[in-house]
Structure 1
Amino acid sequence: MPRLLLSLVLLLCPMIAQAVPVSSAFPGAEMRGQATLRFLGLPLYQARLYTPAGRALDWQEDMALELTYLRRLSETDLVEATLREISRTGGPLPLRDQLLNCYDDVGRGDRYLAVSNGPDEVLFWRNGQRMCALSHPRIKQRFMAIFLGNNTRSPSFTRRLRGE
Protein backbone atom coordinates (compact mmCIF):
# COMPACT_ATOMS: atom_id res chain seq x y z
CA MET A 1 0.00 0.00 0.00
CA PRO A 2 2.73 2.58 0.83
CA ARG A 3 4.37 1.88 -2.55
CA LEU A 4 1.05 2.57 -4.32
CA LEU A 5 0.59 5.80 -2.37
CA LEU A 6 4.14 6.93 -3.19
CA SER A 7 3.54 6.15 -6.88
CA LEU A 8 0.36 8.22 -6.88
CA VAL A 9 2.08 11.15 -5.18
CA LEU A 10 4.95 11.04 -7.69
CA LEU A 11 2.49 10.94 -10.57
CA LEU A 12 0.54 13.91 -9.22
CA CYS A 13 3.57 16.07 -8.34
CA PRO A 14 4.08 17.40 -11.87
CA MET A 15 0.40 18.43 -12.01
CA ILE A 16 0.61 20.10 -8.60
CA ALA A 17 3.81 21.90 -9.60
CA GLN A 18 2.13 23.19 -12.75
CA ALA A 19 -0.92 24.47 -10.87
CA VAL A 20 1.13 26.62 -8.47
CA PRO A 21 2.09 29.33 -11.00
CA VAL A 22 -1.55 30.20 -11.72
CA SER A 23 -2.40 30.79 -8.07
CA SER A 24 0.85 32.59 -7.32
CA ALA A 25 0.88 34.61 -10.54
CA PHE A 26 -2.82 35.48 -10.36
CA PRO A 27 -4.15 35.30 -6.79
CA GLY A 28 -7.89 34.72 -6.53
CA ALA A 29 -8.15 33.27 -10.02
CA GLU A 30 -10.23 30.18 -10.73
CA MET A 31 -10.58 28.22 -13.93
CA ARG A 32 -13.48 29.50 -16.04
CA GLY A 33 -13.26 27.14 -19.03
CA GLN A 34 -11.05 24.82 -21.02
CA ALA A 35 -10.82 23.59 -24.58
CA THR A 36 -8.49 21.70 -26.90
CA LEU A 37 -7.43 23.34 -30.16
CA ARG A 38 -7.12 21.00 -33.12
CA PHE A 39 -5.65 21.59 -36.57
CA LEU A 40 -6.76 19.17 -39.29
CA GLY A 41 -8.00 16.90 -36.51
CA LEU A 42 -4.67 16.83 -34.68
CA PRO A 43 -4.66 18.27 -31.15
CA LEU A 44 -2.19 21.18 -30.79
CA TYR A 45 -2.79 22.32 -27.23
CA GLN A 46 -5.22 22.34 -24.36
CA ALA A 47 -6.13 25.82 -23.11
CA ARG A 48 -7.51 26.91 -19.74
CA LEU A 49 -8.90 30.34 -18.94
CA TYR A 50 -8.61 31.69 -15.39
CA THR A 51 -10.58 34.72 -14.28
CA PRO A 52 -11.11 36.41 -10.91
CA ALA A 53 -13.16 33.91 -8.85
CA GLY A 54 -14.00 32.06 -12.12
CA ARG A 55 -16.37 34.83 -13.25
CA ALA A 56 -17.39 35.32 -16.87
CA LEU A 57 -14.74 36.93 -19.06
CA ASP A 58 -14.61 40.70 -18.58
CA TRP A 59 -12.05 42.48 -20.75
CA GLN A 60 -11.72 45.16 -18.04
CA GLU A 61 -10.33 42.60 -15.56
CA ASP A 62 -7.06 40.70 -15.57
CA MET A 63 -7.09 37.09 -16.73
CA ALA A 64 -4.75 34.17 -17.23
CA LEU A 65 -4.50 31.76 -20.11
CA GLU A 66 -2.63 28.48 -19.75
CA LEU A 67 -1.67 26.42 -22.81
CA THR A 68 -0.47 22.83 -22.46
CA TYR A 69 1.10 21.71 -25.71
CA LEU A 70 0.22 18.29 -27.10
CA ARG A 71 2.86 18.24 -29.85
CA ARG A 72 6.22 19.75 -30.74
CA LEU A 73 6.32 23.29 -32.10
CA SER A 74 9.35 25.44 -32.73
CA GLU A 75 9.94 28.90 -31.31
CA THR A 76 9.69 30.22 -34.88
CA ASP A 77 6.30 28.54 -35.36
CA LEU A 78 5.01 30.07 -32.11
CA VAL A 79 6.28 33.58 -32.91
CA GLU A 80 5.02 33.54 -36.50
CA ALA A 81 1.61 32.13 -35.55
CA THR A 82 1.19 34.73 -32.80
CA LEU A 83 2.16 37.62 -35.10
CA ARG A 84 -0.10 36.29 -37.86
CA GLU A 85 -3.11 35.99 -35.53
CA ILE A 86 -2.55 39.40 -33.92
CA SER A 87 -2.36 40.91 -37.40
CA ARG A 88 -5.44 39.01 -38.59
CA THR A 89 -7.56 40.03 -35.63
CA GLY A 90 -6.61 43.69 -35.42
CA GLY A 91 -3.60 44.72 -37.49
CA PRO A 92 0.13 44.11 -37.11
CA LEU A 93 2.12 45.08 -34.02
CA PRO A 94 5.93 45.41 -33.66
CA LEU A 95 6.30 42.50 -31.22
CA ARG A 96 8.70 40.06 -32.91
CA ASP A 97 11.69 40.82 -30.64
CA GLN A 98 9.59 40.64 -27.47
CA LEU A 99 8.02 37.36 -28.57
CA LEU A 100 11.46 35.88 -29.29
CA ASN A 101 12.30 36.59 -25.63
CA CYS A 102 9.05 34.99 -24.47
CA TYR A 103 8.92 31.80 -26.51
CA ASP A 104 11.09 28.69 -26.74
CA ASP A 105 10.52 25.44 -28.61
CA VAL A 106 7.79 23.36 -26.97
CA GLY A 107 7.13 19.65 -26.78
CA ARG A 108 4.34 17.47 -25.49
CA GLY A 109 3.43 18.52 -21.94
CA ASP A 110 5.16 21.92 -21.97
CA ARG A 111 3.02 24.70 -20.52
CA TYR A 112 2.86 28.42 -21.08
CA LEU A 113 0.97 30.67 -18.72
CA ALA A 114 0.09 34.20 -19.86
CA VAL A 115 -1.26 36.55 -17.18
CA SER A 116 -2.44 40.04 -17.97
CA ASN A 117 -1.19 42.82 -15.76
CA GLY A 118 -3.49 45.69 -16.68
CA PRO A 119 -4.25 46.53 -20.31
CA ASP A 120 -0.65 47.07 -21.48
CA GLU A 121 1.30 44.05 -20.19
CA VAL A 122 1.12 40.26 -20.36
CA LEU A 123 3.48 38.23 -18.19
CA PHE A 124 4.66 34.79 -19.37
CA TRP A 125 5.78 31.65 -17.53
CA ARG A 126 7.01 28.47 -19.21
CA ASN A 127 6.73 25.29 -17.15
CA GLY A 128 6.51 27.39 -14.00
CA GLN A 129 9.57 29.51 -14.85
CA ARG A 130 9.11 33.26 -15.43
CA MET A 131 10.07 34.07 -19.03
CA CYS A 132 9.22 37.67 -19.92
CA ALA A 133 6.76 40.51 -20.04
CA LEU A 134 5.11 41.47 -23.31
CA SER A 135 4.46 45.22 -23.22
CA HIS A 136 2.52 47.33 -25.71
CA PRO A 137 -0.57 49.56 -25.52
CA ARG A 138 -3.68 47.32 -25.23
CA ILE A 139 -1.58 44.13 -25.52
CA LYS A 140 -3.87 42.24 -23.14
CA GLN A 141 -6.81 42.58 -25.52
CA ARG A 142 -4.74 42.07 -28.66
CA PHE A 143 -2.94 38.95 -27.43
CA MET A 144 -5.81 37.32 -25.54
CA ALA A 145 -8.24 37.99 -28.42
CA ILE A 146 -6.33 35.37 -30.44
CA PHE A 147 -7.96 32.79 -28.15
CA LEU A 148 -10.90 34.62 -26.56
CA GLY A 149 -12.06 37.28 -29.02
CA ASN A 150 -15.07 37.39 -31.30
CA ASN A 151 -12.99 36.71 -34.43
CA THR A 152 -11.04 33.55 -33.53
CA ARG A 153 -10.36 30.76 -35.99
CA SER A 154 -12.48 28.34 -33.95
CA PRO A 155 -15.64 29.83 -32.40
CA SER A 156 -16.53 26.51 -30.69
CA PHE A 157 -13.07 26.35 -29.07
CA THR A 158 -13.49 29.95 -27.88
CA ARG A 159 -16.95 29.32 -26.42
CA ARG A 160 -15.71 26.32 -24.44
CA LEU A 161 -12.63 28.22 -23.29
CA ARG A 162 -14.77 31.15 -22.17
CA GLY A 163 -17.00 28.72 -20.27
CA GLU A 164 -20.09 29.55 -22.32
Structure 2
Amino acid sequence: MNRLHSPLRHGLWLLVLLGGQALANWQDTLPGARIIGTGEFRMFGFDVYNARLWSAAQPFVSDQPFALELIYQRRISREDLVKASVKEIKRLSGTSVSAGQLAQWQAQMQEAFVDVEAGTRLTGVYLPGQGARFFVGQQLLYEVKDPVFARVFFDIWLDPRTSNPELREQLLGIAKP
Protein backbone atom coordinates (compact mmCIF):
# COMPACT_ATOMS: atom_id res chain seq x y z
CA MET A 1 0.00 0.00 0.00
CA ASN A 2 2.85 2.37 0.77
CA ARG A 3 4.27 1.75 -2.71
CA LEU A 4 1.01 2.89 -4.31
CA HIS A 5 0.98 6.12 -2.33
CA SER A 6 4.63 6.92 -2.98
CA PRO A 7 4.19 7.99 -6.67
CA LEU A 8 1.11 9.94 -5.70
CA ARG A 9 2.98 11.66 -2.89
CA HIS A 10 5.87 12.53 -5.25
CA GLY A 11 3.42 13.85 -7.82
CA LEU A 12 1.75 16.07 -5.23
CA TRP A 13 5.11 17.47 -4.12
CA LEU A 14 5.97 18.24 -7.75
CA LEU A 15 2.68 20.11 -8.14
CA VAL A 16 3.37 22.08 -4.98
CA LEU A 17 6.84 23.03 -6.21
CA LEU A 18 5.64 24.00 -9.69
CA GLY A 19 2.60 25.78 -8.29
CA GLY A 20 4.88 27.87 -6.09
CA GLN A 21 6.58 29.22 -9.20
CA ALA A 22 3.24 30.09 -10.81
CA LEU A 23 2.16 31.94 -7.67
CA ALA A 24 5.43 33.87 -7.27
CA ASN A 25 4.91 37.64 -7.23
CA TRP A 26 7.06 40.23 -8.95
CA GLN A 27 8.79 41.20 -5.67
CA ASP A 28 10.39 37.72 -5.60
CA THR A 29 12.25 38.73 -8.76
CA LEU A 30 13.57 41.93 -7.16
CA PRO A 31 14.53 41.18 -3.56
CA GLY A 32 15.20 44.36 -1.62
CA ALA A 33 13.46 46.58 -4.17
CA ARG A 34 12.29 49.95 -2.93
CA ILE A 35 10.35 52.73 -4.59
CA ILE A 36 12.65 55.07 -6.51
CA GLY A 37 9.90 57.50 -7.48
CA THR A 38 6.20 57.91 -8.10
CA GLY A 39 4.11 59.97 -10.47
CA GLU A 40 0.75 60.40 -12.14
CA PHE A 41 -0.08 60.17 -15.81
CA ARG A 42 -2.92 62.45 -16.84
CA MET A 43 -4.35 62.97 -20.30
CA PHE A 44 -6.73 65.80 -21.20
CA GLY A 45 -7.14 66.51 -17.49
CA PHE A 46 -8.17 62.95 -16.61
CA ASP A 47 -6.20 60.64 -14.32
CA VAL A 48 -5.06 57.61 -16.32
CA TYR A 49 -2.70 55.84 -13.91
CA ASN A 50 -0.37 56.26 -10.97
CA ALA A 51 3.11 54.90 -11.56
CA ARG A 52 5.86 53.64 -9.26
CA LEU A 53 9.39 52.69 -10.23
CA TRP A 54 10.97 50.00 -8.01
CA SER A 55 14.61 48.92 -7.85
CA ALA A 56 17.07 47.37 -5.45
CA ALA A 57 19.81 49.54 -6.99
CA GLN A 58 20.03 52.80 -5.03
CA PRO A 59 20.41 55.18 -6.80
CA PHE A 60 18.54 53.84 -9.82
CA VAL A 61 20.65 52.21 -12.53
CA SER A 62 18.82 51.42 -15.77
CA ASP A 63 20.91 48.33 -16.58
CA GLN A 64 19.89 46.59 -13.33
CA PRO A 65 16.56 44.79 -12.81
CA PHE A 66 13.65 47.07 -11.96
CA ALA A 67 9.85 47.10 -11.94
CA LEU A 68 7.42 49.67 -13.24
CA GLU A 69 4.06 49.43 -11.50
CA LEU A 70 1.01 51.12 -13.02
CA ILE A 71 -2.21 51.46 -11.01
CA TYR A 72 -4.97 52.42 -13.41
CA GLN A 73 -7.58 55.03 -12.52
CA ARG A 74 -9.98 54.30 -15.38
CA ARG A 75 -11.15 51.62 -17.78
CA ILE A 76 -8.90 51.07 -20.81
CA SER A 77 -9.05 48.18 -23.25
CA ARG A 78 -6.11 45.87 -23.89
CA GLU A 79 -6.20 46.97 -27.53
CA ASP A 80 -5.84 50.64 -26.58
CA LEU A 81 -2.92 49.82 -24.25
CA VAL A 82 -1.19 47.89 -27.02
CA LYS A 83 -1.83 50.63 -29.62
CA ALA A 84 -0.44 53.33 -27.32
CA SER A 85 2.66 51.21 -26.57
CA VAL A 86 3.30 50.45 -30.25
CA LYS A 87 2.90 54.14 -31.13
CA GLU A 88 5.47 55.18 -28.51
CA ILE A 89 7.91 52.39 -29.45
CA LYS A 90 7.69 53.53 -33.10
CA ARG A 91 8.20 57.16 -32.12
CA LEU A 92 11.24 56.42 -29.96
CA SER A 93 12.82 53.73 -32.15
CA GLY A 94 12.26 55.27 -35.57
CA THR A 95 13.60 53.03 -38.32
CA SER A 96 15.80 50.95 -35.99
CA VAL A 97 12.89 48.53 -35.45
CA SER A 98 11.52 46.71 -38.49
CA ALA A 99 7.81 46.41 -39.21
CA GLY A 100 8.09 42.65 -38.72
CA GLN A 101 9.73 43.02 -35.33
CA LEU A 102 7.14 45.57 -34.26
CA ALA A 103 4.33 43.20 -35.34
CA GLN A 104 5.87 40.39 -33.30
CA TRP A 105 6.14 42.66 -30.24
CA GLN A 106 2.56 43.81 -30.75
CA ALA A 107 1.39 40.18 -30.64
CA GLN A 108 3.37 39.60 -27.44
CA MET A 109 1.88 42.71 -25.83
CA GLN A 110 -1.59 41.39 -26.70
CA GLU A 111 -0.70 38.36 -24.54
CA ALA A 112 1.00 40.40 -21.79
CA PHE A 113 -1.72 43.03 -21.28
CA VAL A 114 -5.33 42.85 -20.09
CA ASP A 115 -8.34 45.15 -20.14
CA VAL A 116 -7.98 47.39 -17.10
CA GLU A 117 -10.42 49.12 -14.77
CA ALA A 118 -9.93 51.61 -11.96
CA GLY A 119 -7.73 49.86 -9.41
CA THR A 120 -6.12 47.35 -11.80
CA ARG A 121 -2.41 47.01 -11.03
CA LEU A 122 -0.08 46.05 -13.89
CA THR A 123 3.62 45.60 -13.19
CA GLY A 124 6.34 45.12 -15.75
CA VAL A 125 9.68 43.75 -14.54
CA TYR A 126 12.79 44.54 -16.57
CA LEU A 127 15.39 41.78 -16.54
CA PRO A 128 18.55 42.94 -18.35
CA GLY A 129 19.77 40.51 -20.98
CA GLN A 130 16.65 38.35 -20.54
CA GLY A 131 13.46 40.27 -21.27
CA ALA A 132 10.42 41.35 -19.29
CA ARG A 133 7.76 39.78 -17.10
CA PHE A 134 4.26 41.20 -16.84
CA PHE A 135 2.08 40.79 -13.76
CA VAL A 136 -1.57 41.57 -13.12
CA GLY A 137 -1.86 42.19 -9.40
CA GLN A 138 0.62 39.64 -8.05
CA GLN A 139 0.08 37.00 -10.73
CA LEU A 140 2.56 36.46 -13.56
CA LEU A 141 0.59 36.84 -16.77
CA TYR A 142 3.25 36.67 -19.48
CA GLU A 143 7.00 36.69 -20.06
CA VAL A 144 8.69 38.13 -23.13
CA LYS A 145 12.13 36.59 -23.55
CA ASP A 146 13.52 39.34 -25.74
CA PRO A 147 16.00 41.80 -24.21
CA VAL A 148 15.61 44.29 -27.07
CA PHE A 149 11.85 44.42 -26.60
CA ALA A 150 12.28 44.88 -22.87
CA ARG A 151 14.61 47.85 -23.32
CA VAL A 152 12.45 49.65 -25.89
CA PHE A 153 9.26 48.96 -23.95
CA PHE A 154 10.51 50.51 -20.71
CA ASP A 155 12.02 53.39 -22.70
CA ILE A 156 8.43 54.57 -23.16
CA TRP A 157 8.72 55.92 -19.60
CA LEU A 158 12.46 56.15 -18.94
CA ASP A 159 14.11 57.38 -22.15
CA PRO A 160 15.00 61.10 -22.02
CA ARG A 161 12.91 61.51 -25.21
CA THR A 162 9.75 60.15 -23.52
CA SER A 163 6.52 61.94 -24.39
CA ASN A 164 6.07 62.70 -20.67
CA PRO A 165 9.39 64.03 -19.30
CA GLU A 166 7.75 65.25 -16.08
CA LEU A 167 6.57 61.73 -15.24
CA ARG A 168 10.03 60.38 -16.08
CA GLU A 169 11.63 62.81 -13.63
CA GLN A 170 9.12 61.84 -10.94
CA LEU A 171 9.78 58.11 -11.48
CA LEU A 172 13.54 58.62 -11.34
CA GLY A 173 13.16 60.60 -8.11
CA ILE A 174 14.47 63.80 -9.73
CA ALA A 175 11.20 65.71 -9.28
CA LYS A 176 8.42 65.49 -6.71
CA PRO A 177 4.93 64.32 -7.81
Which residue number corresponds to residue 56 of structure 1? 59
Choose the corresponding residue for 1:86, options 76, 84, 89: 89
State the percentage of identical aligned residues: 31
Q: Considering only aligned residues, what root-mean-square deviation do their CA atoms show, in Å?
A: 1.6
Which residue number corresponds to residue 41 of structure 1? 45
Which residue number corresponds to residue 158 of structure 2? 148
Q: Normalized against structure 1, the TM-score is what?
A: 0.82
Rg larger in structure: 2
> What is the CA-CA distance between 1:130 and the residue it aligns to?
0.8
Provide, for residues 67-86 of structure 1, a one-character-per-residue CA deviation record: whole Å limited to 9, x for no partner: 00000000100111111111
Q: CA separation in 2, counterparts of 1:52 and 1:140? A: 18
- Kept in 1, the 8 Å contact 2:49–2:71? The answer is yes
Q: Which has the higher helix share?
A: 2
Provide, for residues 103-150 of structure 1, a one-character-per-residue CA deviation record: whole Å limited to 9, x for no partner: 110000000111112234000100111100123242232111101110
Which residue number corresponds to residue 72 of structure 1? 75
Choose the corresponding residue for 1:119, options 123, 129, 141: 129
Stretches of 4+ moved more than 3 A in 1? none
Q: CA separation in 2, counterparts of 1:119 and 1:67? A: 23
What are the ranges of 5 or more consecutive residues in structure 1 without an aligned counterpart? Answer: 1-19
Provide, for residues 75-101 of structure 1, a one-character-per-residue CA deviation record: whole Å limited to 9, x for no partner: 100111111111111134231111111
Which residue number corresponds to residue 17 of structure 1? none
Q: Normalized against structure 2, the TM-score is what?
A: 0.76
Which residue number corresponds to residue 143 of structure 2? 133
Where 1:138 maps in the other structure, the secondary structure is helix
What are the ranges of 5 or more consecutive residues in structure 2 without an aligned counterpart? Answer: 1-23
Q: CA separation in 1, counterparts of 2:87 and 2:144? A: 16
May I ask how many residue pairs the two structures share in their alignment? 144
